[in-house]
Amino acid sequence: MIYLDNAATTKLDEKCLEIIKEYSLQGFYNPSALYRKAAENSNAIKKAKTIIAKSIGAKREEIIFTASGSEADNIALLCSIRAKSGKVLIGSSEHSAIYNTALELKVRGYDVEFVACDSYGRTDLADLNNKLDEKVVLVSIMHVCNETGALNDIASVAKLIKAKSPRAIIHSDGVQAYGKVPVDVKTLGVDLYSISGHKVRAPKGIGALYCRSGLYLKSFVFGGGQEYGIRSATENVPSIMAFADVVERNFANIKDNYLKVIALRDYLQNQLESKFDNIKINTDKENSSPYVFSFALNSARGEVLVHCLEDKGVIVGTGSACNSQKSTKRIPQALGIGDGYADGILRVSFNAENTKDDIDKFINALGESLQELIKYQKTSNKDDCILSRLKMR
């Protein structure tokens, strides 16, 4: 099976299994207990925080472990605002964890506005500048767009925000950036930064939130006071330790992996443009992370192609896996993708283990799938009929 949907999740690093087993069977103790074995786990968590903090240029006490990147996003938006009212600015191409949490802030009485993006998903700085004023209390702009790979210049974004809205808290969803592009939260100038384990070959169910020293966060989960009282719950020690181990062993290769994936991404784009007509590229390769590449066809529905490709041993996505179970036009509309292409979006996302041969197999499978769809279309002009046939297996 050729796996090209790494923005959705990644294959677990095999060494994680050893660590999970160790801390589930031998070191299974509750870190909050008083005996020595429990204290050893508490110290292990501190070491893990040090590793995660170092990977983004932060301090250990600025790291809060969470159950996911989505939870980190929720904590950042729901627990950071101290003002009872004000304006909240959110990028229009944000992940659903940010978008839907922003809608909750609107329900709670905040004035939520969405900042426009360009056709590649990059935040429009002119529109951001126009919306910034002294009423803004929070701004959230993602580092790398999970749909297109668009790379936002967060340092420039933060400088703009601080100049026009000095009391605003600055958050960035770094889930698709972490482990793929260099991240230094001090250089970026953010107050809050979200990351996730399962996007970098660590287990699912573990993430973290960077919170700048001196920034107060309200409690998100009430209980025994773990994670500085922000997220009370017995810590997920096996996953925390596996996450830290993956980061410590693999993040030294970020630069080399980046260059390798750039070559794969460029080869993919060249193959697509040379072999397929009526294709729309949604990724600006000059200003994006090479790990995510989006394109659209006006001759077939993306969800239909996903099923066809899977039958041929290739897995890709249509966009965020968090939106795959429901129809949404929010991202295509934000990107300005017309109706002819909006239903034909495919997202290819890489890891450092992917090869040129994987791309060739994907291109061949895509060509075969489109030819099969043409045959179906000769017997039926209705997309719904085509979809129902493809789902009958």
- How would you class 212 by CB atoms within 10 Å of its CB: exposed for 0-12, middle for 13-18, buried for 19 or more? middle
| Cα atoms found within 13 Å of the Cα of residue 257, Cβ hemisphere only | 18
Look up residue 59 and give its DSSP letter.
-
CB 186 within 8 A of CB 166: no
211 is catalytic: no
Phi, psi of 142 (to 5 degrees): -70, 150
Residue 362 and residue 268: Cα distance in Å, rounded?
9
Buried b (16+ CB within 10 A) or exposed e, 20-38: beebeeebebebeeeeeee
Of 293, 282, 305, which Cα lies nearest the Cα of 370? 305
Catalytic residue among 16, 79, 308, 322: 322
Residue 183 and residue 317: Cα distance in Å, rounded?
26
Residue 234 and residue 28: Cα distance in Å, rounded?
11
Of 72, 67, 64, 65, which Cα lies nearest the Cα of 97? 72
- As annotated, the active-site residues are 322
